[in-house]
Chains A and B, each alone.
Chain A
Amino acid sequence: MKDILMSVRDRAVQLGADFADVRLVSDDRTHMSRQDGQTDRMSSGTSMGLGVRILHKGSWGFASTSIVDKETARSCLDDAIAAARLAPPATGIELATLPAHEASAATAVAIDPRSISAEDKMALLRTQEAEMLRVAGDKAVNTTVGLSNTITRTVVCNTQGALVEQEQTRVSFNCFLVCADGDVRQEGYESRARLAGWEEMAVITPEAYAVKAASKAVELLSARRAPAGVFPVILHPSVVGVFIHEAFGHNAEADLVLAGESILEGKMGTKIASDLVTVIDDGTIPGQWGSFAFDHEGTPSQRRRIIDKGTLVGFMHSLESAGRMDVPPNGSARADGFAQRPIVRMSNTLVEAGETPFDEMVKGIGDGILFQDGRWGYVFCERGQYTLNVGSGRMIRNGELCEMVRDCCMCGMVLETLHRVDAVSCEWDLPTRGGGCGKNGQGMPVSFGGPYLRVADMVVGGQDA
């Protein structure tokens, strides 16, 4: 297949493209799940396709096809060239350049997930399912457990001389249950998602997943609804992860900064957060869901410092954004399959640990709320208004953790919240649950985490007065 990619690249040069890259992506997926005591979904699938990207005077043309042969690839190139020539802007752009390099990388896999029999995988699911039912007892009304593995091969070939092959192996497990007590229904969820082989599924114990999910759902049945109002809060590492990815991280994607859509435009080198806050995006963490050896432009993955002790020091970059901002590329251009263009994405985004023990944070807050189980969030980058959804929390009174509260959302203005961080814990966690990020219609595996953060106040949209 590489010869097809190289012939398209060479023809793009002959046709005068300022830059071109050709990307071949194929994957093999299997999934199995159980629901309510029986197999639910057993699936397998394959896909393969080609994406061709052309830069012409500052305008990108992109074309893709799921037919991989020489003739269709050339036709794809013609489409991409025609697209790029549609209406180039008045000024062209200079991409950042990397020295020509040929490289290959593969996920370190001790046990190929395809070598594990369906029976063994099903046995793991049965054990987890049984444990959820044992813990939840007659409160359980719906249980789901699932296992997936995907092997994705990507080859990137570009006119700067990059020829990079990468094979990524992903394994994931999730368990979910709903418990009911009369008209009250609550849910528990746990997952593990790793860029690794089956060895990362072999470590799954019932205590860490099924028991935890079921205990949470049962406990939530008797939890009160969260209060509504403005409160001092402590955010659990899983909530900090969602916050730093959704509320802040998207603003630090350089393509959005260049498009004028980020609240961080014009703020490089300025104080945008409390001195206590340092933020990193690191695509090199072994096994982590958002890691990769090379991005989808062939740039090696890196650890990127975004905020250093409250000061904005960096963005995440593609070849284009790095060129336009005159900084080195840092390996952040990723694409969701062959049919999408690479765009600037986060990888594993985290807040660095601080010095305050969690217990002291709780004591020091007086009255407030600890929010746990970060679930989702979104931000309007232009304005900086964000929302966060959490699965549960605990009221704090007189510096003591008290009763549990149910799920709710919070909102705020991201830079104001970052300035209001008044304590960062020494305890730190980068959850291995895995995450998905959506941007411009493209999904992407990511992860996020950090220490506990205490914020002087946040708007809490609970359901109780």
Chain B
Amino acid sequence: MERYIDIANAACEAAMRSGADCADVHLQESVSRAIGLELGEVKNVDARSYSGVSVRAFSRGGCGWASASKLDEADARAAGEAAATLAKAADADPDFHDLPVGGPLVEIEGLWDEAVAALTLSDLLGYLTPEIEAVRAVAPDAIIGGGSGLWSGGSVYVNSKGTCVTQRGSGVGCYISTAVRRGDDVGAYGDGDHGRRMSDFDPAGIGKRTAEESLRLLGSRTAPSGVFPVLFSKECGRNVLMPLIHGANAEDVQRRRTWLVGKQGEQVASQALTMVDDPFIPGGGGSSPADGEGVPHKKLTVVDRGVLTTYLHNSYTAGKAAVENTAHSTRGGISPTNCNPATGDRTEAELLSAMGTGLYVNSGGLAVNDTSGDFSQVVDTGYWVENGEIAYPVKETMISGTYVDFLRAIQALSSDPKVQPGSISPAVLVGKIRVVAR
């Protein structure tokens, strides 16, 4: 890592020598391995390595960027000089204050695991083989796809204020997709498991689950149209809540291009919804000690019983709004870390039973127009529910409305979430949503 710190510092110094007022550098190197399946057999095996350095320089607040893929001091310096040249050509930006100074960082467990980095291609194949057999045991004629993979790498962030953050990361995952055909009728589903450390990775069972779910999805029909309660399963419950968190991006708010303008401190969702952004979850997919500008992360309640408590800031938007930086910079953008909903007190099965007649959405997300706040979404896979019980799988079925109405109609979140590293996804019951079908 020392060599990379030297290269990053060389790029930063080059930018400063070329006339930048301040500069920062992000450098990374990673390797990845992946196996791809076709019809249940190994089809592709990939071994990749990647490196890159990116320099951001500021002059009178104007910003210039330059990057290179080769990690040596000469190319890094050239990138630093190019970034400074671009920054000097940019307009002055009085809203830019300065790059932030880093601080003490919390050590988070499980972000890098030597055992993951040491996995061989044979190990990766070993995770797939029993899952393929499990699919065939349930559905011998299933079309099987998917694969497994790992990555391992390191990164360095430095800036001209003396901040230096080094991180290592790793990850391993396995995914199985299955499709079963009965004439023109097709049931298809996919599921996977992943972790940044071996102790969080357990793919056993995904083959059986995907095969069983594919069979269950055969015989799909169109649902009735109308306004009905909709239960989003714990496979996708968190997905339908994340547009609220992504919409709370302070830059979008300051640019007045999001439906969440002026909503800080307001009741934007039902009291059933509380969401907390926690960057310190051990092994979490979005965990890290610092944001993209080296600012120490902090745990933050973003939605408290339906009230939007804060927007997510980086150093620029925080400086512009004269508020505390929430440390959500992606160095050029803003993003949550591990933002998860608080769970409720009834299980998904209990919520399904309580729903009566309505729609159960099994997978997918919610395409919310970030500008208008309207949504219009096809149900990727789901079921019609009658008297609290699954009746049949649906096709050509959509849901639509405004996201504000959607959030305010949330009735409950389940007590038994699907937990993946950094992600807690309960089922979400929404009281009334427009359902449109053929």
Contact = CB atoms under 8 A, between A and B. Distances in A.
B257 A178 contact: yes
A36 B255 contact: yes
Interface residues of B, number: 73
A459 B438 contact: yes
A382 B144 CA distance: 11
Interface string A58-92: 01111111110000000000011011101111100
Interface string B365-407: 0010101111111101000000000000001111111100000
A47 B69 contact: yes
A307 interface: no
A61 B143 CA distance: 22
A35 to B, nearest CB: 7
A278 B402 CA distance: 38
B398 A84 contact: no
B48 interface: yes
Interface stretch (A198-206, A224-232, A354-362): A224-232
A115 interface: no
B380 A380 contact: yes
B374 A225 contact: yes
A24 to B, nearest CB: 13
A184 interface: yes
A6 interface: no
Interface residues of A, number: 75
A86 B125 contact: yes
A44 B375 CA distance: 36
A258 B396 CA distance: 26
Contacts of B45: 59-62, 83-84, 86
Contacts of A258: 38
B225 A228 contact: yes
B39 interface: yes
Interface string B10-23: 00000000000000
Contacts of B377: 387, 409, 461
A45 interface: yes
A187 interface: yes
Contact of B121 (A83, A226, A463): A83
A66 B51 contact: yes
B44 A62 contact: yes
A272 to B, nearest CB: 12
Contact of B70 (A66, A409, A461): A66
A44 B82 contact: yes
Give the secondary structure class of A's interface.
strand
Contacts of B86: 42-44
B270 to A, nearest CB: 20
Contact of A42 (B65, B179, B188, B376): B65
A395 interface: no
Contact of B401 (A184, A389, A463): A463
A118 B374 CA distance: 39
Contact of B69 (A42, A48, A461): A48
Contacts of B79: 45
B21 to A, nearest CB: 15
A261 to B, nearest CB: 6
A8 to B, nearest CB: 15
Interface string B205-243: 000000000000000000001000000000000000000
Interface of A: 35-36, 38-39, 41-49, 59-67, 79-80, 82-84, 86-90, 118, 141-142, 178, 180, 183-187, 225-226, 228-230, 258-261, 263, 339, 341, 380, 382-385, 387, 389, 406-409, 411-413, 457, 459-463, 465
5 contacts: A43-B66, A44-B66, A183-B259, A228-B225, A462-B400
